[in-house]
Structure formats: structure tokens, C-alpha cells
Amino acid sequence: MPFIFVRLLFLIPGFMYIRFYFCHPKLPEKHYIYSMKRSILISGFLCLLGAAAYGQVPGMSPVAGNESDTHGCDGTAGFVYSSLRKECIRPSDQRIQLIQADTSGSFIMGGAIIFSDDGKKAEVFIPGPRKSLLLSNQGNGTWKKGAYLLSKPEKYLLQENGTAIYREK
């Protein structure tokens, strides 16, 4: 809202300048024509300056959809960096999809799992500030890192501190 005031600071003087020079009856004709040209240039410049200020919003990216992370992955298109594959991937396109284990809420979030070629590592993509978890194979169809455990009794199940948080779709 305060930016509207700043924009008006540029636009109002431009219109006032036009009003003064076009409607001033006491100037001689030669001087009036020169003043009219000058007033058109100055008022046009002030209006353009006001329009340029109108298009700028502090803190916003000037190009829409150009929000790439440190690895160059376009987050607005759903891409995240996979430390396992060393490339940008889209979790929603992966073969193994996860959904929240507790589906009682009105909004259900999802994720995905990818595995290394040798099966020793699993990368789990879940919503949140931590884009992915890189888990190590513990044998017996389980992968673990810290408080997170991924297992496959029948379908994949991701647990945090023994509580199921995501399951295979």
C-alpha cells in the first residue's frame, strides 16, 4: 500500500506540469510553443518514471517462474535436486509415491522414493524445509538415517521415531 503513494509522487507532478503549461494564457505564442514542447517532454518523462516505479515491487523476482535453487532446479515447476542421482528430478513423476499415513486431515501431502542402482541408498522426498532424506540400507529391506526408518512389510512405510508418517500409495 505505501508503494502507491510513491508512485503517485511521480505521476501527480507530471499531470500538474501538463495542466500548468497547457492552460497558462499569459505566455507569448513563440514562448508558449517552446514551453509546450518542453512540458510534453518533461511530463512524459515523469509519467514514464511513475509507470516504471509502478512495476517494481521490492523483494519480488522480476521474472515470474524463475526461482531456481542452488543446483539450478526450477522449484516452481516441481523440480528438486536429488543428491542420489546428482540431477534435478520431479518427485511427482517417480514410480514409488508416498502419502501421509494419517489421512484424517483435510489435506493430504505426498512424497516419493528413489533408490540407487545397487539398492544401498534410498532417497525419500517429503514436504518440508528438508527437501529429501538420504537413507542407508540396513539389510532385511530397511533403510535408516537418524530417527527415520524406511521399511517394506508389504508396501513402503516411512517412520519417524517409530511412528508411521508416510506410506506407499
Per-domain residue ranges for the chain?
2-55, 91-168
Render pLDDT for 39-74 as a digit per residue (tens, 0 to 9). Answer: 677 767 766 766 666 555 555 445 555 677 788 888
Nearest partner of 166 among 108, 115, 105, judged by Cα? 108
pLDDT confidence of 107, banded at 50, 70, 90? Answer: confident
168 close to 158: Cβ distance less than 8 angstroms: no
Global pTM exceeds 0.75 = no
pLDDT confidence of 101, banded at 50, 70, 90? Answer: confident
pLDDT score for 25: 58
Cross-strand bridge partners of residue 111: 98
Q: Is 146 helix (H, G, I), strand (E, B) or coil?
A: coil
Whole-angstrom distance, CA of residue 84 vs CA of residue 87: 8
Cross-strand bridge partners of residue 151: 142, 157
Whole-angstrom distance, CA of residue 149 vs CA of residue 137: 10
Render pLDDT for 144-157 as a digit per residue (tens, 0 to 9). Answer: 999 999 998 889 99
